Amino acid sequence: MSDTAELTVDETQEFVTFSAGNQVFCIKITQIREIRRWAPVTALPHTPPDVLGVMNLRGSVIPIIDLSARFGLGRTEPQERNVVIIVIDGDRSVGMLVQSVSEILSVTAEQIQDTSDVRATSSAYYITGIISHEKQMIRVIDLAAVLHGRS
């Protein structure tokens, strides 16, 4: 059997790319529930600075975080052109405010470069790999670290 015949669909992963803090990041498409335009949120008292508040999404209360602020890249001033990526976290959903969503990438595991030796900075703590695509370095985010970890 030839090498090409042995390739399976499972070897390719799809990622959605987006901008936050003027940098390009991506997340596995399977971790996304939906993508929606920015809408005002209800602020909550005594929350960390990167938690913008909550929004009502079809009867469910969804916390919204500012991904740029979470990464230590400065706060995003929410505007109509911004986007909220609703991600799946176990049995709940969380929204991440980003500047914009760009494209869907199909990549193999070999195209994702390891970053374990450069994870010392606060934003690097949330990164599991780098994809080089069209002269850009796209950071693959670790969703569990973003939603639960603190650097």
Mean pLDDT of all residues belonging to the chain: 87
Residues 61-100 pLDDT 10s: 999 999 999 998 999 999 999 999 999 988 889 999 999 9
Mean pLDDT, to the nearest integer, of 4-14?
64
Residue 33 predicted with pLDDT over 50: yes
Residue 126's pLDDT is what? 87
Residues 102 and 121: their CA atoms lie apart, in Å, by: 25
CB under 8 Å to 59, separation ≥6 — which residues? none
CATH topology of domain 3-148: OB fold (Dihydrolipoamide Acetyltransferase, E2P) (2.40.50)
Q: Which residue has the higher pLDDT, 4 or 96?
A: 96
Residues 59 and 115: their CA atoms lie apart, in Å, by: 39
| Residue indicated by tokens 């600075």 | 49
Annotated domain spans of the chain: 3-148
